[in-house]
Structure 1
Amino acid sequence: MKCQRCSKSAVIYQKYSNAHLCKNHFIEDVERKIKRDIRKFKMIGKGEKIAVALSGGKDSIALLYVLHKIFKNRPDLEFMAITIDEGIKGYREHTLSHAIKLTGELGIRHIIRSFEEEFKTSLDALTREKENAACTLCGVLRKNILNKAARELGADKIAIGHNLDDESQTILMNYLRGDVDRLKRMLPGTIQKGMVPRIKPLRSIPEKEVALYGFMNNLPVSMDECPYAGSALRNEIRDMLNNYEVKHPGTKYSLLGGYESISGFLRPADTQIVFCEKCNEPGSDRICKTCRLLGRK
C-alpha cells in the first residue's frame, strides 16, 4: 500500500484514522501529536529542568529521544535521565545497557539509583519475602526513589513514558473501581506538596506506534517484558481493551477523550499530604506506603 500523503510505501495502517503512512509521515504524525500535547497541557515551560524516567524499555527510550529532538536547540532547558535498577535478574541489566547507550549518544546526564542502594534489598528478594504482588512493591518503591532523586536534582518536572494504552487502561480501571480520587490525580498539572509534578508527552501515542517509532529511528528498543508483568491486575484490562480496539478502532482514544471532557468537572486531588514519620517522604498517612511495605516499625 502507498502512503496517503505521498507515493512512498506505507509502513503502517492506522485503523483508528484509516490512514496508510510511510516512514517519514509516520514519524511526523507521532511527533506532531507529542508537540500538540506538550503545548496543550503546558508540560514544559521556559527555563525548566526536566528529569526523564528512563527504564531502558521502548517507551522511555522513545520519550528521551523525541524530547531531545524537539528541544535540543533550547539552551534554557535542561534534560537529565534517571534510571531505577530494581534488581530483576536477567532483565534489568539488558534494559539498563540500552539506557546507558542512548544517554551517551545524546550527551544527556544519566543518574542511576537502585533498590539495593536505597533499601538494601532487591525486588527479587522482596517478592520472596512479601505477600504483596511484585508490581505493587515495584511501583511504590520505584516511585519513591524517582521522586526523591528528581527533587534532589532540582527537577521541575518528571517526564514518564506512559503511552495511550497505559492511559486508557488506567482510566478504565479507575472507572470500574469508582476511584474518583485517582482520576483527579491523573489531571495534568496536579501539584502535591513534596511531589515533583509528572508529565506524559506520549499519552496520545498507541503502544505499538511507540515501538515502531523506535525501530524507525534505529533506537535501542527492547521488547522484553518484565518477568513479573504476568501477575499484574492491569493485564485483564489491557486484554479487554485490546480486544475491543480490534472490533472498534479508536476505543482507546475515545476513553482518553471522554476523560478529558469530564476533567473540567473534577477538582484537583485534595489528598492530604503528610510527611512520613520514618523516612520524611510525602505520603497520605503518618507512615508512608514505602515504609509499610518494607516493614519499617
Structure 2
Amino acid sequence: MQCSLCSSKAVYYQRHSSRHLCKKHFLRDFYRRVKRAVAKYKMIESGDKIALAMSGGKDSVTLAHTLIELYGKRRDLEFFAITIDEGIEGYRPPTVEIAKKVCRDLGIEHVVVSFREEIGLDLDEMVERGSRNACTYCGVFRKYLLNRTARELGATKLATGHNLDDETQTILLNFLNADIERLARLIPQRVQKGLVYRIKPLREIYEKEVVVYAIINNLPVSLEECPYSRFPARALVRDFIYEFEKKYPGRKFSIMRSFEELLPCLHKMYPQVELGECKICGEPTAREICKACELKRELGII
C-alpha cells in the first residue's frame, strides 16, 4: 500500500485520519503529537533535569528513544533513567538488561533501584507474606522509589511512558468508579514540595503506534506481560474503548479532549491539598503516615 502523503510504501494505517503512512511520515506525525503534548502542558522547559521511568517495556523504551531524539541535543536539558527492580522471578531480570542496553545505546546515565535493597523484600516475597494483591504493593512502592530516587538525583521532572490508551482507560475507569477526586489529580495543578513533577509525553500516542515506533526503529523491547497483571475492571474498560474506537475511529481522542475541557472545573472542585511529611520516612504525604510505610508495617518490615 502506498503512503497517502507520498509515493513510498506505507508501514502503518492510521484509522482516525484514514491515512496510510510511510516510515518518514509516520515518524513526522508521531513526533508532532509528542511535541504538541509537551508544549501544551509545558512538560519540558529550559534547565530541566528529566528522569525517565525505564522498565524495559515498549512504552518506556519508546519514551526514552523519542525524548532523546527530539530533545537530547539541547545543552539546557539533562536526561537520566531509573529502573525499579521489583524482584519478579523470571520476568524482571530480562527487562532490566534491556533497560541497561537502551541507556547505553542512548548514552544516558542509568540507575537501578531494587525493592529488596530499598524496601527489604522482593515483590514475590511481599505477595507470599502479605494479604494485599501484588499490584497494590508494586504500585505504591514503585511510585515511592521513583519519586525518591528522582528527587535525590536532582530531577525536576519525572517522565513516564503512559500512552493514549492508558490515559483514556484511566479517565473512564475513574469516572465509572465515581472517583472524581482522583480524576482531578491526573494532571497536577502545581509542583508540590518533595514530589517530582510527573510528565507523560506519549499521552496522545496510541498504544499500537508505540509498538510500530519500536519496530521500525528496531528497538530492543520486552512485550511480555507481568505475571501479576490482573485488572478485571480495567480490562473491561479497555475492551469497551477498543471496540468503540474500532467502530468510531478517533474516540480515544474524544475522551481525552472531554477530560481536558472538564479539567478546570475538576481542579476548582478539588484543589490540590498541601502535603506534609510522613512521620516515619519523611516522604511527602497527605496523611500522618504515607502509604508505603503503612504497607511496610503490614508486612512487618518496620
Does TM, scored on the shorter chain, surpass 0.5?
A: yes
CA contact (8 A) 2:81 2:108 kept: yes
CA contact (8 A) 1:41 1:188 kept: no
Q: TM-score, normalised by structure 1?
A: 0.96
Aligned residues: CA RMSD:
1.4
CA contact (8 A) 2:156 2:197 kept: yes
Do the aligned partners of residues 182 and 190 (structure 1) sit closer, same or farther apart at CA in structure 2, a change above 3 Å counting?
farther
Q: Give the drift of 1:290.
A: 0.8
After alignment, is 252-261 or 275-284 more displaced? 275-284
What do the CA deviations read for 1:228-280 (whole angstroms, capped 9, x no partner)? 11346422221221122222221211110111111122327423422111111
Extract unaligned runs of 5+ from structure 2: none
Q: Per the alignment, in what secondary structure is the counterpart of residue 297 of structure 2?
A: coil
CA contact (8 A) 1:81 1:109 kept: yes
Aligned to 1:266: 266
Aligned to 1:93: 93
Q: Give the drift of 1:41.
A: 1.0
- The amino acid that maps onto 2:14 is Q
Aligned to 2:186: 186
Aligned to 1:283: 285
- The amino acid that maps onto 2:35 is K
- The amino acid that maps onto 2:283 is E
- The amino acid that maps onto 1:22 is C
In the TM superposition, 1:124-273 aligns within 5 A as: 124-187=124-187, 190-231=190-231, 233-267=233-267, 269-273=271-275
- The amino acid that maps onto 1:25 is H
CA contact (8 A) 1:275 1:282 kept: yes
What do the CA deviations read for 1:4-50 (whole angstroms, capped 9, x no partner)? 00111211111111111111111111111001111111111111100
Q: Give the drift of 1:146.
A: 0.3
Do the aligned partners of residues 182 and 244 (structure 1) sit closer, same or farther apart at CA in structure 2, a change above 3 Å counting?
same
Q: Per the alignment, in what secondary structure is the counterpart of residue 294 of structure 1?
A: helix
| Alpha-carbon distance in structure 1 between the residues aligned to 2:232 and 2:283 | 26
- The amino acid that maps onto 1:157 is K
Q: Per the alignment, in what secondary structure is the counterpart of residue 112 of structure 1?
A: strand
Q: Per the alignment, in what secondary structure is the counterpart of residue 279 of structure 1?
A: coil
Q: Give the drift of 1:215.
A: 0.8
After alignment, is 284-293 or 266-275 more displaced? 266-275
- The amino acid that maps onto 2:276 is V
| Alpha-carbon distance in structure 1 between the residues aligned to 2:296 and 2:105 | 37
CA contact (8 A) 1:163 1:207 kept: yes
| Alpha-carbon distance in structure 2 between the residues aligned to 1:26 and 1:110 | 29
Q: Give the drift of 1:188.
A: 5.2
Aligned to 2:296: 294
Do the aligned partners of residues 189 and 101 (structure 1) sit closer, same or farther apart at CA in structure 2, a change above 3 Å counting?
farther
Q: Per the alignment, in what secondary structure is the counterpart of residue 20 of structure 1?
A: strand
Q: Per the alignment, in what secondary structure is the counterpart of residue 294 of structure 2?
A: helix
| Alpha-carbon distance in structure 2 between the residues aligned to 1:160 and 1:188 | 14
Aligned to 2:84: 84
What do the CA deviations read for 1:141-194 (whole angstroms, capped 9, x no partner)? 100000000010010000000000110011101111222211221125532221
| Alpha-carbon distance in structure 2 between the residues aligned to 1:59 and 1:70 | 16
Q: Give the drift of 1:132.
A: 1.4
| Alpha-carbon distance in structure 1 between the residues aligned to 2:187 and 2:97 | 33
Do the aligned partners of residues 40 and 188 (structure 1) sit closer, same or farther apart at CA in structure 2, a change above 3 Å counting?
farther
Q: Give the drift of 1:288.
A: 1.0
Q: Kindly, what percent of the aligned residue pairs are identical?
A: 49
- The amino acid that maps onto 1:42 is K
| Alpha-carbon distance in structure 2 between the residues aligned to 1:61 and 1:180 | 31
Q: Per the alignment, in what secondary structure is the counterpart of residue 266 of structure 2?
A: coil
Extract unaligned runs of 5+ from structure 1: none
After alignment, is 142-151 or 287-296 more displaced? 287-296
Q: Per the alignment, in what secondary structure is the counterpart of residue 279 of structure 2?
A: coil
